[in-house]
Each structure stands twice: as structure tokens, then as C-alpha cells.
Chains A and B, each alone.
Chain A
Amino acid sequence: MRIQDIGTFNTVREAGLAEYLPSMPRISIGMGTCGTGNGAEGVYHAFATAIDQRGLDIKLAGVGCLGFCAQEPLVNVWMPGRPLVVLHRVQTNDVDRILDDLAAGEVPRELALCKIEDWDHLTAHVKFGHGFPDIPVWRDIPFFRGQKKIVLRNCGLISPDDIQEYFAVGGYQALYKVLIDGRPEMAIEQIKASKLRGRGGAGYSTGIKWEYLRKAQSDVKYIICNADEGDPGAYMNRNEIEGDPHSLLEGMIIGAYVMGASEGIIYVRAEYPLAVHRLTRAIEQAREYGLLGENILDRGFKFDLELVEGAGAFVCGEETALIASLEGRSGRPRPRPPFPAQKGLWGRPTNINNVETWYNIAPIVSKGPAWFTETGSTKSPGTKVFSLVGKIKSTGLVEMPLGTPLKTFVYDIGEGAMNGKGIKAVQTGGPSGGCIPQEMFDTPVDYETLAQLGSIMGSGGMVVMDEDNCMVDVARYFIEFTHSESCGKCVPCRVGLDKALRILNAFTDGTASVSQLDMLDELGRMIRDTSLCGLGQTAPNPVLTTMRHFRHEFEDHVRAKRCRAGVCDELALSPCENSCPLHMNIPRFFQLFKEDRLEEAFESVIMDNPLPASTGRVCQHPCDDRCRRTTIDSAVNTRDVHRFIADSIFNSDRFDAMVERVAARKLEATGRKIAVVGSGPTGLTCAFYSALLGHDVTVFESNPEPGGMLRYALPDYRLPKPVLRREIELIERIGVKFIYNTRVGFDLTLNEVANLFDAVFISIGTWKESWVYLPGTELTGVVPALLFLEAVQKKEPVPLGHKVVVIGGGNAAIDSARTAARLGSDVTVIYRRERKDMPAIKEETDAAEDEGVEFVFLATPHRIVGERHGNVRAIEVVKTRLGEFDSSGRRRPVPTDEIQRFECDTVILAVGETVDLDFARASGLKIKESGTIEVDRYSLETSRAKFFAGGDAISGASNVSNAMGYGKKAARNIDERLMGVRRFDLLLPDFEYDQTPPAQISQCPRRHVKELPAAERAQNFDEAVVGFTADEALEEAGRCLRCDVRKA
């Protein structure tokens, strides 16, 4: 039926409304490529069959996608007078239930995602109805909150296959208006006034571009829609076309009329068959209704559209290459000028706009430029559709006003990281864009700001990366893509990207040299500044931005040959080994142990980690988070297996023999003397390896016994001291000398030490409590956590009251709480954030709770109240609520006006510890602002010759394994500095063991060590956890997937 006047126009519209809001219930299924991929087609057929069988009066429709990819397939259910309810993750077996509920005028609540009571199609306002008060309105669920649907105004609601439904929501009215109005220049003024910018990525003013073509003199002019969407991870154009093809046609017909073009071409990726199919049908329908072809809407205007499928090259998205491709030549760009508006397709003036740009036209024409500029930022009004993907909970297509800060995308809409990992960066703009680090998430997303950061808006791809992403690998991936998509015409892009890829490959396989960092940077700039087209000019962005914001990762790859994220295969044995600060060869000791070679397993363990029994009890076990077994069930319990191996040797008569075996590995005496200041885990580790390397090692300790924090801060129920003593005995027996009760800096000056030794390693701990400013800290009964724990260890009298409040959420806080509980007090822990944000080991927190420790979260101390004699009487805390996300990716606690009071007589402060470095200040060592010693990240050398530092003294308060990692690194570097050659690897043992992955994956679930009953263990300081039995340890070792084995 041809539309010729307002009468026929309205008839079609009425017919469409009867389809869209029929007098019977309507079920519409999201059937974009995304929905279909998740089984929407099956759901559709199930509905069709069931409706048919039951003989129901229900209208069934396939629609586009609402954008919430993580919840596909989406099904909209509507009954006259009620709201449209969006059901999520609908499977075929839900169909009967939905129809049953529908018959009763209900919807299944567990499938309901949200409801839509009314919808602004911009060109029409549709009221669906009211009801279902318990289902949230769509705007109130995080994914949709803040979204503004201009481009996606119809997607997921109307049927893309039915032009009448498009008419029903006000479709083609804007076109009608423009044609009736008959003043193209006015329409261009409107587009110019709206300040709409090209949505293909470069952001050029659409109005100005249109004016160029309008003014160009030629008998034939062309307009082109660029739908050659090729960025990995971007699929907004596909979704727009699949959900609402007529909006594109309307935008283009309006454009053709005002620019004076008679022919239009839609250049669409051949990889989008569904989009091609729906567009083809839409064009046919438009011709049928007299919206394309001769005499459009009876206004004497002639225009037709042709659909061309792309040939699959990424570079064909570049306008001059696209034109070349349309002309049948190979898709290679040419220099501009002349611009397409001067000389385009077949040498005629041509306008090219991105799909999304065309989608904005009809709303601007019908609602006016003033309405459009209300949304978005001043320079970049309107919205942009982003494909939000990567390491976040809610992924999908989101349409947001331009200028929205990046953190809104990541934390509000995306709902933050999966499995509580830390988010590192967002990559915007696909392979032409750059990475924006987490510290810059306040950045508003618009053309200018992104460009300033070295990224681009591009097509609107947003890939969120977390700590498991290696930024060097990310850069390498994108360069690999642009390298293979380069057309090969200009030298910088063709050869430069090839060289950049080779250099990046050298980084990821650990063969790069430090000088290649600068070489890569210079090459990247050269490619950016001299390439012929946009592809080459933007291709280095991923490299340049990652090198700017994540240079330390590049340096790690070159200088330490380490990939912290564990992505670069060549740089790690296995994910667990990579995550371990000591780089223990975990699969090796598992395998040796499984092969019943306990002594060798022990040797393997102790050569990697000189304190295997202590760490087996108290390590923060980063290996758990990286274990690949988590993708099957849960991580292998590595910590408790090496505890078992260590305990079996330490507590047996084989101990002496094993000491001999380790001592036999000692290299020939070098005659070099090394002083280690502090006998904590860092110092012990450095001393152990230095002694094995043949040096004469002396450890200075201010306390009467060695062990540092392990000895004096860790409570006995976590680490019984005989265990630690046995380990230190081994270290002593391989030749390390200990001098106790000697404080370097007081009893012996640093200069004296420097004169006596060839190298000095400073590994003092963080024994000083960082003091919070809080009224009342001067009162009697306020104690710092570490002093409290130390006093308990030294069996000094501790004035502990009946009611104890611990402030803090780290391990020191939990240790204090559990110790105080064992001393007979009632304990409450107050922490300012949420439970999941606590830095303490989770098992410890759980155990504390079982032992009767109370927890108060989201509360910040306000003041400590004293009584007359200056003793603590109570503490007042301000309750907080969760505010915006801070730079650590956690929600910042914001104080409320609610104050809570806890009566107590002791307050233990565990809010963080710092290094007491007064002695170092006097010695010429450079101290950082954070109060730690400044060292070279890789060599651990301080500003003073001979002096090295490691552990908490350089990192601030950390944990045992990190501290030991520094000790190991220090031993390696000190040796290299003293001897002039790398000798450390000579110490590493070599074992022959089975190198085949398990034929069958063990079905055993993760074993946990047994804890004594809470009531029993809370009475005394006996070890609270019972280690594995031999069978349990063996079973656990058998769960290892052997990620270390590489197929040849």
C-alpha cells in the first residue's frame, strides 16, 4: 500500500498500533544475533507450538534486543492494561509456566527482570499499563539506570520485520514533516544546531558535512551508510539494524532529501547475515509503501537504496577505502583531499555517515535540536551506544549520554568486577583506541577527553580489564589485529606495524631488551604521525597508551622476565607458580609427592621456600586465586599440602638427613660477608639463600629470638613457635650466624656495619602502629595491635579489660581479636567498609566469628570516651553507608548522622602499620614519602652503595609470602652484585618426574583442613587447625591439573 497523504499515513499507523498493542496478550522474543545465540529461536518455536496447541489468543512476535546481553534470552510479556514485563534467561522449559501464569493474568516472578509501564519512543509515547508493584521498573535496575534511549529507542520492543509497527511508534513522521516542509536548508540548520557529531568515531560535525554535499554541484550525488563494523568486541551497529532497520532508512531518506542525493548505499558487513536479511526486507517494505523509489510520499522526490555486502576487510570502514571497495577495486584508502564530499563514489560528491549517526536524524527532526542538546555534554551532545564487555558482571549494549564518567559504566551499569578481582583498565575504541587506567575512571566519556588520554571514542567498544589481563598482551593483541588488517599501501603502517608486533612478541616471550621499550615508543609515534589513513594513524594507540599508563608491566616483562597477570605463557611455569611471590614450583612438589618421593618433594619445597611449615599455616595463598582448577570446581589447596610435606620431615627423624642434603647444595665459600638486618621472614629468606650461595651471612636481631613478626606478632594458635624454631634451626645449620639483642642503628651504627660487611640487607618490619587522629587515643586502655600481640608473645602483662573493641579489618585486627577472646574478653571488631572488603584472610575472619567475636561493619570510630580516671569507657562510631566508588574500586564509606556507642574498657587499634625508620634517615638512605626505603624495583638497591632493602621496609605492611619474595630476590641480586655473574640458578634443584598431565581429572572436591571446635579452641592458644593426613594431602595433590606441562 502506497502512502500518499496524511489519510493513508494514519491508516497504516492504526494498523501498526493494532499489532503493537493488540487486544490480546503479546509475547515478544528478543531475536537479535545475541538472543538467537543464547537459544531464542528455540524459545520462539516452543511458544508458537504451545500457543497453537492450547489454542490461545496470544500474539507472538520476534523483536530486536534490549541490550542486556548477560541476561539473554529476553522475552517481553504484555497483557492489555498491564505493564510490559521483561523476562530474562528464558529457556524452552519455562514456556509452559509462562503461559500458565499468563492465563491467570500473572507473570512468573523468578523470571521477571523488570517492567516497563510506559516507553518514550521519542516519536511516540506508548503507555503499556500499570500493575505488578513487586517487579522493579526498568529504570531502577542497575544495568538500565542512567541510560537514555535515543538511538535504541525502538530496539527490543517493535518487530523489525513489520514496517507497520514502526509506523505505530511514530515512524516516518519525521520524513513526512521534512518532505511537507520542503525546505532542506532548514533541516540542515537543525542538524547543525543539534551539534550532532559523527558516531563512527572521529566525531566530525554531521551538519557541516551535510552542508558540503548539499552545496556540491553535480547531477548525481550519493549518500552512503557505513555499516562495516569491524572492531573486535563492538556490535552496536549490528544490534541497531537487527532491532530497528526502518530508523536507518528514515534517517537516510531524510538525508538524501536535504542533501539532494538520488542514490544511497548501505555498505554492511557480510558477517552480519541477520542484519542484511532484515535490512533487505525493510527496503522492500519501504518501496512497497512508497517511501523509496519514484515520487516518495507523493512529494515528487526520487531516491532509492541499494545494499552492498562488504568484502570482509577492516580497512573498508575507512571512507575512501569503502568507496574503492564499492567501485570494485581493492579496499585501499587514498589520501584526502579530495574529500568524498568533493570527489567520492564514481568521482561524484558523496556523503558517508555511520549507522548510528543516521539513527539520530529522525528524533532530531521531530523533537528539535534544543531537545537534543539537553542530553550529553556541551561539545558532544546526545548519546552514544557502547558495547560494555569484559571482566564485569553485567555486560551488554548501553546507550549513555556523552560525558558520563567512565566509572559509571564500570561500577554502576557493569556492576563492577567478577569474583571480587581488581579492575585495572578500560579499553575504549577497539583496536584504534587506548587503555584508560583505573585511576582515571572519573574521565567523562566524550570525544575530546578520550583523545587527550591517547584513546578515541571509536565505535564505542568498551572492554573492561582486570588484574588477570596483561597489558602488554593486550597491546600485542590489538597490534596483531591491525597488523593483519593493514592494507599495505603506506610504509609506516605496512612495515611499522609488522616491526611493532615483532617487538611486542619479544616482550611477551621474554626475549626483549630494555632498549626496545624506547624503540617501540618511537616507532609507535612515527606510525601514528605519518600513516596515510585512520587505521595506521590510530593503530599504535593501544601500545602508546599502555606504555604510558602501564610502563611498569612492560618493564616487568623485560627486566624481571615476569608477567604479573600470568598471561604470557613463556614467562611463567604455571599460574600458581607465577602468582607465588616465592615462585614455588608447585606442580613439581605435587608430582614428586604423588610419586611417593617425600624427601625429594621436601627438597623441592625447601629450596623454593625456606619456611614451608610456617607459610603452610599463615600464607595469604595468592595461588588459590589463580589456580585453573577454579574453572572446574575450586582451587587446589596448595598451602596445606606443603605444610604437610614440611611437617612430615620437620617432625621426623629424617630431619637431620635433610639438613645435610640441603647443606650439601651449598656453593663453595666466596669469602664475601653479608649482613642481614632483621630476622623476619624477609631476612631469613635472604640469609638462607645467601648462605647457600657460599657467602658468610650474619643476621642482626633486636629481639632475643629470631623470626620477626612470625615469632612476635603471630599468635600461637595460628603458628606454634616450635614449628618456626625448627625451620630456623635448619637455616642456622647451613651456616647462617645470628646475633640477638642487637639493634642496628643503636647498638651498632649503620656505618660500622657497612665497614664490616661487603653488602647489607635491610629487612626490618613494620612494627610501628600508624596512629589515627581520634579523640581519646591518649586514654589508658587504648593499645596498638602489634604491641598487644608482641606483649602476649613475650608473656608480658597485658592490661586487657572485659570488653574489647578492635578497630580495623586486616590480619592484625583479627589476630588481636582472637587473642583477646582467648584471654577471656568479649570482643567486637569495627570495620569501616563491608565484610568482603576486609584485607584479612577470609578463613581467619570466619574462625573469629565462630569463636564468638562480634563484627560491626560500615562504622568509623568517632571518639573514644573516657571516665574520670582516664580509662576507656566506651567508643562511639559513626555508621556509614556506601557511597561512590573510589580509586581502589571499592565503594567509599560515607558517614551518616547515626552514632552508635559501644561500652568497652579496651580499644585495640589495628588500622595499619608503618616502618620505624628513624635509624635509616640518619644513615643516608633515601626514604620515600610513604615512609618506606626507596629502592630500585628490580635490583632492590638503595640509594647507598652496598645497601639493599626488601620486605615491609620497602613495601609497607604486607604479608609473609610477599616479604619472603623480596628476601629471595635480594639474595639473587646481592650475589650478582658481589660476584659479577648470575649464579642463583645454580641452586635450583633438578628432578626427573612425570611430565604428563593427569589422564583423568580427579573428581575430588577441595579438601579443607580441620579446625578444632570453636568452643574448645577459643579456650587456649593451642594450634587451632589440624593439618592434612597423608591421604588427604595426597588426594589434594592429585587434584592438580599440571598446567606446567607443555605439549611439544
Chain B
Amino acid sequence: MPQKKISIRIDGELLSARDGQTILDVARANNKFIPTLCYLKGLSAVGACRLCMVEVSGIQKLLPACTTPAQDGMSVITTTPKLTRYRKIALELLLVERNHICAICVSNGHCELQNMARTLGVTHARYPYNYPRLPVDVSHERFVMDHNRCILCTRCVRACDEVEGAHVWDVTARGIQSLLTCELNESWGASRTCTSCGKCVQACPTGALAEKGWAVEEMTKRDDNVSRLAVRRGGLV
């Protein structure tokens, strides 16, 4: 059954879209930039990072572009001073939440968090740093999990669950105590469900999940491969 065609406006430009696409899908398909961190093409969208909030005319509330379906006649504005301010705050909050010290990070220079901060012009954080004491799991023979660099976007959780089908990862505890957890709070090396496929590592936007053996700035990732596999498995396009 051919999908119904609809048209929406993004920042004033009239765009054609398929029914069922989200605002973000339409924007991406037309090279319109909406910042995201927790979104990864092919994986289900969770709306956790809140960077993709946009304004839709006629609706008082801000809406997340990654989970809001595009509707015929909708008019979306992706950037306003308020949105920019809020996005910067969200990034600042992420930067102070854990210990993001770029100078010693394997992903320095290839980090989505870092890039996003640069793109949105976040030069410093006004909020006090939390400096939590968090463990680093080096028990896996090929990979490392460093909670200090995790932003809880859950891309690894979804890549492992939806693409690899192993569901090794999940999030435990709640609120500011939330922590990525392997199986039922096992060390990664002791996991019996992990296939060591490495999709989680490739999906991770920061240096939280990395391959062993790389020094500072050396870890580059290919999340497009995860996306391609995910789409092939019937994930969201």
C-alpha cells in the first residue's frame, strides 16, 4: 500500500513527506538541522535528550521532533532564541552531570557531545559540576564501559536490543542515580548474553563505550553501520 503523501512546513519551507514520518525524519530528509543526541536512525526514538524540541504553530507546548509525527499542514520552527537557550542549558546539564574531561578521552575530537557543544556555542557550563565517583568496567576482553562519560542516551541499549537482539544493556536506579547496567548488574566480562558484536560501542555518541587499545583522540566510530543494519531489520526509517 503506497503511503499517503503529506506536506509540512519547516522554518517556512514547504516540504513533502510520507504519513508516519516524524518531524525529525522530514527535517533530516531535507537537510534541515535539528540537534539530537539520543536519536539514532533505525533505532526506536525515546525522546530523552530533549535537544530536538521544536515549536509547532498553534501548539503552546514545545514538541520533540524525534517522536512527534508530521501531520499534514503542520508548520514547524526549529530555531528560536528560546529553543537555543533551552538546548544550551540541556547541554550544560549533560556536561556537568558526569566527568566529561575531553583532554583524556579516547573520543576527543570524535565525540557527538563535544561536537554538539561546539555547534550550539556552549563554551562553558554555569552550573556547579557534580563530579560523581563512577566505576569503569574493563572486564570485557575487547571493550571498555566508562560511566563517567555516559550521557544515558540509551542508544547502546536499543542497538543491542533492537538490532543484535541480545538486550545486554539497560538502565538501573532512577533520577540522578540512573546508571547503565549490564544484564542484572553483572560486569560486562561476565555477561553470557553479550555476543561481543560491538554495535553498542559504535552506537555510543561519546567515549563511554570504547574499544580497548586506543589512546586519547584515537577512537572513531561508525554508527551509520548500526543504522544500516537497523533499517534492514525493519527499524524506523
A interface list, Cβ under 8 A from B: 313, 315, 330, 332, 334-335, 337, 483-492, 494-499, 502, 519, 522-523, 526, 529-532
Within 8 A of A (CB), among B79-97: 82, 85-86, 89-90, 93-94, 96-97
- Please tell me if the beta carbons of A495 and B94 are within 8 angstroms of each other in the complex: yes
- Please tell me if the beta carbons of B50 and A530 are within 8 angstroms of each other in the complex: yes
Can you identify 15 A-B contacts, CB atoms within 8 angstroms? A315-B174, A330-B174, A483-B176, A486-B175, A486-B176, A488-B175, A491-B90, A492-B89, A494-B152, A494-B178, A499-B96, A523-B127, A529-B62, A530-B50, A532-B48
- The residue in chain B whose Cβ has the minimal distance to the Cβ of A488 is B178
B62 to chain A, nearest CB (A): 5
- Please tell me if the beta carbons of B62 and A495 are within 8 angstroms of each other in the complex: no
Decide: A530 near B174, CB < 8 A? Known: A488-B152, A492-B93, A519-B126: no
- Please tell me if the beta carbons of A496 and B69 are within 8 angstroms of each other in the complex: no
Interface residue B46 (Cβ < 8 Å from any Cβ of A)? yes
A541 to chain B, nearest CB (A): 15
0/1 per residue, B33-56, Cβ < 8 Å to A? 000000000000111111001000
Interface residue B177 (Cβ < 8 Å from any Cβ of A)? yes
Interface residue B128 (Cβ < 8 Å from any Cβ of A)? yes
Could you tell me the distance between the alpha carbons of A334 and B45 in the complex, rounded to whole angstroms? 10
A334 to chain B, nearest CB (A): 7
Could you tell me the distance between the alpha carbons of A660 and B47 in the complex, rounded to whole angstroms? 73
Could you tell me the distance between the alpha carbons of A663 and B80 in the complex, rounded to whole angstroms? 64
- Please tell me if the beta carbons of A526 and B174 are within 8 angstroms of each other in the complex: no
0/1 per residue, B109-149, Cβ < 8 Å to A? 00000000000000000111010000000000000000000
Residues of B within 8 A of A522 (CB): 85, 89
Decide: A526 near B171, CB < 8 A? Known: A483-B176, A490-B49, A494-B152: no
- Please tell me if the beta carbons of A495 and B93 are within 8 angstroms of each other in the complex: yes
Residues of A within 8 A of B61 (CB): 529
Residues of B within 8 A of A490 (CB): 47-50
- The residue in chain B whose Cβ has the minimal distance to the Cβ of A519 is B126
Give 13 new A-B contacts, CB below 8 A, not counting A495-B96, A497-B176: A315-B174, A330-B171, A332-B174, A485-B175, A489-B46, A489-B178, A495-B97, A496-B93, A499-B128, A522-B89, A526-B90, A530-B86, A532-B50
Residues of B within 8 A of A315 (CB): 174
Could you tell me the distance between the alpha carbons of A1004 and B34 in the complex, rounded to whole angstroms? 73
B112 to chain A, nearest CB (A): 14
Residues of B within 8 A of A526 (CB): 85-86, 89-90
Interface centre among A332, A486, A487, A529 (most CB of B within 10 A): A529
Could you tell me the distance between the alpha carbons of A334 and B97 in the complex, rounded to whole angstroms? 22
Interface residue B205 (Cβ < 8 Å from any Cβ of A)? no
Interface residue B207 (Cβ < 8 Å from any Cβ of A)? no
> Size of chain B's interface in residues, with CB distance under 8 A?
36
Interface residue B101 (Cβ < 8 Å from any Cβ of A)? no
- B48 contact from A330, A483, A486, A489, Cβ within 8 A: A489
Decide: A491 near B49, CB < 8 A? Known: A499-B96, A526-B89, A530-B86: yes
- A498 contact from B46, B53, B67, B130, Cβ within 8 A: B130
Interface residue B173 (Cβ < 8 Å from any Cβ of A)? yes
- The residue in chain A whose Cβ has the minimal distance to the Cβ of B93 is A495
- Please tell me if the beta carbons of B93 and A499 are within 8 angstroms of each other in the complex: yes
- Please tell me if the beta carbons of A495 and B174 are within 8 angstroms of each other in the complex: no
Residues of A within 8 A of B90 (CB): 491-492, 526, 530
Could you tell me the distance between the alpha carbons of A498 and B94 in the complex, rounded to whole angstroms? 12
Interface centre among A332, A485, A526 (most CB of B within 10 A): A526
Residues of B within 8 A of A495 (CB): 93-94, 96-97, 176
A204 to chain B, nearest CB (A): 14
Decide: A529 near B126, CB < 8 A? Known: A488-B175, A488-B177, A489-B48: no
- Please tell me if the beta carbons of A335 and B64 are within 8 angstroms of each other in the complex: yes
Residues of A within 8 A of B96 (CB): 495, 499
Could you tell me the distance between the alpha carbons of A522 and B175 in the complex, rounded to whole angstroms? 21
Residues of A within 8 A of B64 (CB): 335, 532
Within 8 A of A (CB), among B172-211: 173-178
- Please tell me if the beta carbons of B50 and A492 are within 8 angstroms of each other in the complex: yes
For the A-B complex, the count of residue pairs with Cβ-Cβ distances under 8 Å equals 105
Residues of A within 8 A of B175 (CB): 483-488, 494, 497-498
Residues of B within 8 A of A313 (CB): 174
Residues of A within 8 A of B173 (CB): 488
Residues of B within 8 A of A332 (CB): 171, 174
Residues of B within 8 A of A489 (CB): 46, 48, 152, 171, 178
Residues of B within 8 A of A485 (CB): 174-175
Could you tell me the distance between the alpha carbons of A529 and B126 in the complex, rounded to whole angstroms? 20
Residues of B within 8 A of A519 (CB): 126-127
A940 to chain B, nearest CB (A): 32
B2 to chain A, nearest CB (A): 22
Residues of A within 8 A of B127 (CB): 499, 502, 519, 523
- A488 contact from B86, B89, B176, Cβ within 8 A: B176
- Please tell me if the beta carbons of B47 and A529 are within 8 angstroms of each other in the complex: no
Residues of A within 8 A of B49 (CB): 490-491
Could you tell me the distance between the alpha carbons of A523 and B92 in the complex, rounded to whole angstroms? 11
- Please tell me if the beta carbons of A491 and B86 are within 8 angstroms of each other in the complex: no
- The 6 A-B residue pairs with the shortest CB-CB distance, nearest first, are A488-B178, A495-B93, A486-B175, A335-B67, A335-B47, A498-B176
Decide: A491 near B94, CB < 8 A? Known: A335-B64, A519-B126, A530-B86: yes
Could you tell me the distance between the alpha carbons of A485 and B67 in the complex, rounded to whole angstroms? 24
A418 to chain B, nearest CB (A): 35
- The residue in chain B whose Cβ has the minimal distance to the Cβ of A329 is B170
Residues of A within 8 A of B128 (CB): 499, 502
0/1 per residue, B47-78, Cβ < 8 Å to A? 11110010000000110100111000000000
Decide: A491 near B47, CB < 8 A? Known: A526-B86, A526-B90: no
A81 to chain B, nearest CB (A): 59
- A334 contact from B46, B151, B152, B174, Cβ within 8 A: B46
- The residue in chain A whose Cβ has the minimal distance to the Cβ of B154 is A489
Residues of A within 8 A of B151 (CB): 491
Residues of A within 8 A of B94 (CB): 491, 495
Could you tell me the distance between the alpha carbons of A4 and B61 in the complex, rounded to whole angstroms? 51
B35 to chain A, nearest CB (A): 12
- The residue in chain A whose Cβ has the minimal distance to the Cβ of B128 is A502
Could you tell me the distance between the alpha carbons of A529 and B174 in the complex, rounded to whole angstroms? 21
Decide: A488 near B171, CB < 8 A? Known: A494-B178, A530-B90: yes
- The residue in chain B whose Cβ has the minimal distance to the Cβ of A337 is B69
Residues of B within 8 A of A531 (CB): 50
- A491 contact from B85, B93, B171, B177, Cβ within 8 A: B93
Could you tell me the distance between the alpha carbons of A523 and B126 in the complex, rounded to whole angstroms? 11
B96 to chain A, nearest CB (A): 7
Residues of B within 8 A of A335 (CB): 45-47, 64, 67
Could you tell me the distance between the alpha carbons of A502 and B126 in the complex, rounded to whole angstroms? 13
- Please tell me if the beta carbons of A486 and B89 are within 8 angstroms of each other in the complex: no
Could you tell me the distance between the alpha carbons of A526 and B53 in the complex, rounded to whole angstroms? 11
Could you tell me the distance between the alpha carbons of A489 and B172 in the complex, rounded to whole angstroms? 11
Could you tell me the distance between the alpha carbons of A337 and B127 in the complex, rounded to whole angstroms? 33
Could you tell me the distance between the alpha carbons of A530 and B176 in the complex, rounded to whole angstroms? 17
Could you tell me the distance between the alpha carbons of A337 and B64 in the complex, rounded to whole angstroms? 11
Interface centre among A315, A330, A483 (most CB of B within 10 A): A330
Residues of A within 8 A of B47 (CB): 334-335, 490, 532
A489 to chain B, nearest CB (A): 5
Residues of B within 8 A of A494 (CB): 97, 152, 175-176, 178
B58 to chain A, nearest CB (A): 16
A317 to chain B, nearest CB (A): 14
- The residue in chain B whose Cβ has the minimal distance to the Cβ of A529 is B62
Could you tell me the distance between the alpha carbons of A519 and B89 in the complex, rounded to whole angstroms? 10
Could you tell me the distance between the alpha carbons of A820 and B178 in the complex, rounded to whole angstroms? 74
Could you tell me the distance between the alpha carbons of A487 and B85 in the complex, rounded to whole angstroms? 24
Residues of A within 8 A of B177 (CB): 488
B54 to chain A, nearest CB (A): 11
- The residue in chain A whose Cβ has the minimal distance to the Cβ of B82 is A529
Residues of A within 8 A of B86 (CB): 526, 529-530
Interface centre among A335, A486, A491, A492 (most CB of B within 10 A): A491
